[in-house]
Amino acid sequence: MGTAAVHLLLLLGLLHAGPGGEGRKGWRRRGPAVRERGEAAAAAPAESFPLDFTAVEGNMDSFMAQVKSLAQSLYPCSAQALPHDLRLHLLHNASVTCNDGSPAGYYLKESKGSRRWLLFLEGGWYCFNRENCDSRYDTMRRLMSSKEWPATRVGTGILSSQPEENPHWWNANMVFIPYCSSDVWSGASSKSEKNEYAFMGALIIQEVIKELVGKGLSTAKVLLLAGSSAGGTGVLLNVDRVAEQLEEMGYQGIQVRGLADSGWFLDNKQYRRTDCIDTITCAPTEAIRRGIRYWNGIVPERCKLQFKEGEEWNCFFGYKIYPTLRCPVFVVQWLFDEAQLTVDNVHLTGQPVQEGQWLYIQNLGRELRNTLKDVTASFAPACLSHEIITRNHWTDIQVKGTSLPRALHCWDRSLHESNKNGKAPLKGCPIHLIDSCPWPHCNPSCPTIRDQFTGQEMNVIQFLMHMGFDVQKMAQQQGLEPSKLLGMLSSGN
């Protein structure tokens, strides 16, 4: 037996000897399936289910580097040949298009040994009338046209093929669907003499599913529909429709799930009301009201039935559509989301914030936290940021000592072990993680903040001071010594 094989057995022994023992029976070798000669050749492919890393969580980076090295030495043909780039495929059905009539498409990286598929919906705001769509086309054309899309993309975060960056999904079949419909993935109208632009977000998803069935999706065990920002809202609007589409095509065995990142917006009152002139200044409720008519937007029937005719815009807001969903959905949302603050007209431009803004920001965190209290699977850090799951640093953020990849792994396991409603999380494997501290960046694992003007990194206290946080006043309100409050802020308590 080779040295590499001996090392692998020792590593697996470490896993087996770890505390608890949950999830051991569910282990499968990761990477493209390698069958033993003889009896296994005719067997049905096993689901490529993630390892249980409980025993090695304290030294995950080192462990994953060793696993990758060993996989490459034991199976050089499969591990080293694994393509890291996602390749562009334009849709065969040329009638399903981007805003400008160019063909929509998707980027694909196949993983032949895996029965897990991850489909990611890109984000990028929206436009809701001819004027601001024209402006968007002039300034952000790649979000409205496929004409200049590159032939390949490199996946990052949850789309990465590197186990160090993506510990539990690195070996899945990866699909990145570029956003070129400007309609929050809801539209169903084609370009015509009357319509200068097509809005076909919902139809693009359906067409991608049809094409992927012929590329291996038909044998999938799990399909995770993920998305960030407008793509996160798109997940909420489309996850049940994808499940229904696959059932109608005869693939009832595929478990469809959703992962909505930074798409859980509030229809709250703006800090300072402004006229609905463009995407940034328009209140989200009014923008979606106008947009859903302009796009011929469609929403899930179960949600639509909850509201009066003409009030379908309500289904674009997570806390209103979530109770109507049939598929399990994991919600990832910063408590102080930058896009939410932007549409609420709270602009953090480097000047100290006024007391009214500060109170508004704190209240926003409380409101968002309240809307998530009945969401079974959630991850909500008290940070000022936007989007996370495709960022390189997504493994660094923690809530109550648990990272986002770990929380998603726990959710995976709870669903895999027949708890299909996810309401009985495994011991020591939390899936409802919401920060309770009340200020932006009171969580010490939040992404680094830089001064807008100097570019220098700021710690939590420097950031709060920069925003006009009054330590003396806040300490007095909390009944604490200022030094004690500063210590709590530094440690994230």
Classified as helix, coil or strand, 165 is: coil
From the CB of residue 19, how many other CB atoms can be counted at a distance below 10 Å? 8
What 3-state class would DSSP assign to 256?
strand
Rounded CA-CA distance 426/478 in Å is 36
Residue 402, SS3 per DSSP: strand
Buried b (16+ CB within 10 A) or exposed e, 60-72: beebbebbbebbe
337 is catalytic: yes
What 8-state DSSP symbol labels residue 425?
A: P
Reading the block at residue 149, the tokens are 């899309």
Q: Among this protein's residues, is 240 annotated catalytic? A: no
Q: How far apart are CA 358 and CA 63, in angstroms?
A: 43
Q: Identify the active-site residue in 52, 240, 337, 344.
A: 337
Task: Find the Cα–Cα–Cα–Cα dihedral 271, 275, 278, 279, rounded to 10°.
Answer: 30
Task: Report the run of H or E that residue 133 belongs to, with start and end.
Answer: helix 130-139
For residue 212, which phi and psi values (nearest 5 degrees)? -70, -30
CA distances from 127 to 218, 246, 288, 295, 459 (A): 35, 30, 9, 9, 36
Q: Phi, psi at residue 84, to the nearest 5°? A: -95, -15
Quick one: how far is CA 474 from the chain centroid?
A: 34
DSSP at 277: -
Q: How many Å apart are CA 77 and CA 261, to the nearest integer?
A: 35
Is 52 tagged catalytic? no
Catalytically annotated residue among 145, 229, 378, 385: 229
- Show the tokens assigned to 471: 């330590």
Tell me how far apart the alpha carbons of residues 28 and 17 are, in angstroms, rounded to a whole number. Answer: 17
- By the 10 Å C-beta count (0-12 exposed, 13-18 middle, 19+ buried), 361 is classed as buried
Catalytic residue among 111, 114, 344, 386: 386
Active site residue ranges: 229, 337, 386
